[in-house]
Amino acid sequence: MPAFSFESQAGQLIKVGLALSSTRVLGDLLEMVLLEARKLTGADAGSVYLVDGSVLRFETSQNGTLSERLGEDACRALFKTYELPLNAESIAGYVAVSKEMVNIADVYDIDPSAPYRFNPASDRANDYSTHSMLSLPMMDQKDEVVGVLQLINATRETPEGKRVVPFDSMCLPVVGALASQAAVAIVNAKLTMALQKSWLDSVLRLGLAAEYRDKETANHITRVSEYALLLGRNLGMDKNGLELLHWGAAMHDTGKLGIPDSILHKPGLLTPEERATMEYHTLIGALILKGDSNPILMASQSVALTHHERWDGNGYPRGLSGEAIPLFGRITALVDVFDALSSRRVYKPAFSMEKVVQILGEERGRHFDPTLVDILLDNLDEADAIRTTHADTEADFEKFRNYSLLKIEDVL
Ligand code: C2E
Ligand code: SIN
Ligand code: SIN
Ligand code: SIN
Ligand code: FE
Ligand code: FE
């Protein structure tokens, strides 16, 4: 018997969303800083290292020559994040520890009395020749080193072609200013990320609580999010839109937290009164997720409120129709029902894919946005793969049913 675990699907899912949203803020910032610094100095390549406790972490790298040779994506894939000890043995480490800028004409000809050495491993691995290198400490308002900006191979156009030259000391003040501006932006981005993380953490707990109540649909949240992403990708949504959709879809039934067990877990059909109570899960969800300070909350609220609206206007709670229903709500409406039909519920067995497809066809332009139905039907193989990968197992139901599996060690 597997140990009782709160590491549910929803938890995993939402943590991935968390990692994505936090790395992107900082990642984009570092890319931008590096690009500007390369433009200012005519550097062919460059890297950014960030101080993280007692190590210096290599975060971002750009290389004009390798991008041209291999393509942008292949070049990016070459550079894996790694750590350097925070000491004077590497050039970047020396800069971080000493807080001094280091301008080296040729890294293969460093004065032997210098405390640092150039590590040629990455040159060899990438078939690249580093010569000139300018490394600057990025210091925040408190004069603490946030990271190191390292620029490689200042390049000058000559009649004979491009030549690598030493970094011109004329450019030092302006790159230095850019490095300190970057440091301040990095500190701010980290603060924003910490704040966002604590926000998202509360939302995550809501998702877990909702899943815990909704015993019969252990992997429902994961599947609905994955189906929604499948549609979003086919609609050409960008990364940011997909991330919001991922969260919104994951939180769609949060309002079921407020529905009594006697209704939520009723094995048979609901009476009209029970049905009316059940429909309040849209409003309850929208109330729980209300907020205008965070795009993820706003998307989640919108989906919670609108995922039972119908294209023909006969849905609830507002009877919106057509494109008056927000797109995320229209997407979630379709994939939520697709999942309800193709899975077992307390009140119904799982239907065959044939029957599911038939119902979707009948409801095209009635319950559902016809464009979205077409996309789902065009990608049925991929949807079915999601269904199989995240199928509910007896063990999934068991962990919600059998409280005696819960031990004190699991909660402390
Ligand atoms: P759910 O189980 O996640 O179902 C989501 C939606 O899938 C339903 O929204 C409905 O539009 C669709 N759906 C589910 N089963 C069928 C089906 O057999 N045929 C067709 N054509 N559509 C189906 P709806 O009806 O607004 O229900 C919302 C939630 O209310 C459901 O979420 C479920 O938690 C609960 N519920 C609905 N009907 C019953 C019922 O008869 N008994 C019980 N115990 N709960 C029900
Ligand atoms: C350094 O020594 O600063 C790192 C150089 C490298 O590994 O490319
Ligand atoms: C240094 O900046 O200390 C090294 C000078 C050099 O070897 O180019
Ligand atoms: C939203 O702005 O998407 C939520 C409000 C609404 O559903 O109209
Ligand atoms: Fe719902
Ligand atoms: Fe649902």
Task: Quick: pLDDT tens for 176-220.
Answer: 888 988 898 888 888 877 777 777 777 767 776 776 777 655 588
At 104, which helix (H) or strand (E)?
strand 102-104
111 lines ligand 3 (CB under 6 A): yes
User: Atom 7, ligand 4: which residue's CA is nearest?
Assistant: 302
Whole-number pLDDT of residue 105: 97
User: Does the structure show a pLDDT above 60 at 11?
Assistant: no
Whole-number mean pLDDT of the chain? 88
Cβ–ligand 4 contact at 326 (below 6 Å)? yes
DSSP string computed for 22-80: HHHHHHHHHHHHHHHHHHHHTEEEEEEEEEETTEEEEEEEEEHHHHHHH-HHHHHHH--
Can you tell me the distance from the alpha carbon of 100 to that of 15, in angstroms, rounded to the nearest whole number? 38
CATH of domain 214-410: 1.10.3210.10
Q: Where in the chain is the domain with CATH 3.30.450.40?
A: 6-189
**Pair type for strands 145-158 and 133-139:** antiparallel
Q: In the CATH scheme, what is the code of domain 6-189?
A: 3.30.450.40
At 104-122, the pLDDT tens digits run 999 999 999 999 999 999 8
Handedness of CA 225, 228, 234, 235 (dihedral sign): negative
114 C-beta closer than 6 A to ligand 3: yes
pLDDT band at 222 (very low <50, low <70, confident <90, very high): confident
- Write the residue with the smallest CA distance to atom 6 of ligand 4: 302
Give the 3-state secondary structure of residue 352. Answer: coil
Identify the pLDDT of residue 2.
35
Nearest residue (CA) to ligand 3, atom 3: 114
For residue 313, the number of C-alpha atoms closer than 13 Å in the C-beta half-sphere is: 2
For residues 285 and 411, the model is more confident at: 285
**Does the beta carbon of 306 sit less than 6 angstroms from any atom of ligand 4?**
yes
Q: How far is CA 62 from CA 75, 186, 395, in A?
A: 8, 18, 47
pLDDT score recorded for residue 279: 97
CA gap 136, 96 in Å, rounded: 8
Q: Looking at per-residue confidence, does 180 or 338 come out higher?
A: 338
> How much distance in Å is there from the Cα of 278 to the middle of ligand 5?
9
Query: Any residues with CB less than 8 A from the CB of 392 and at least 6 apart, and which?
Result: 217, 218, 219, 343, 344
> Which residue has tokens 């059940």?
278
Q: Which ligand is nearest to the CA of 58?
A: 2
Cα angle 142-147-148, degrees, rounded to a multiple of 5: 125
Helical pair 220-234 and 9-41, crossing angle rounded to 10 deg: 40
Residue 8 in contact with ligand 4 by CB distance below 6 A: no
Mutate to test the pocket of ligand 4, among 297, 301, 316, 330 (most ligand atoms within 8 A of CB): 301
- The residue written with tokens 């004077």 in the block is 88
For residue 336, the CA-to-ligand 6 centroid distance in Å is 5
| Among candidate residues 102, 344, 81, the one with its CA nearest the CA of residue 216 | 344
Strand 102-104, strand 83-85: pairing: unpaired
The alpha carbon of 282 and the centre of ligand 5 are apart by a number of angstroms equal to 7
How far, in Å, CA of 257 to CA of 210, rounded? 5
CATH 1.10.3210.10 positions along the chain are: 214-410
The pLDDT score that the predictor gives to residue 209 is: 76
User: Cα of 299 to ligand 1 centre, how many Å?
Assistant: 23
Task: Determine the Cα–Cα distance for residues 353 and 341; give it in Å rounded to an integer.
Answer: 9
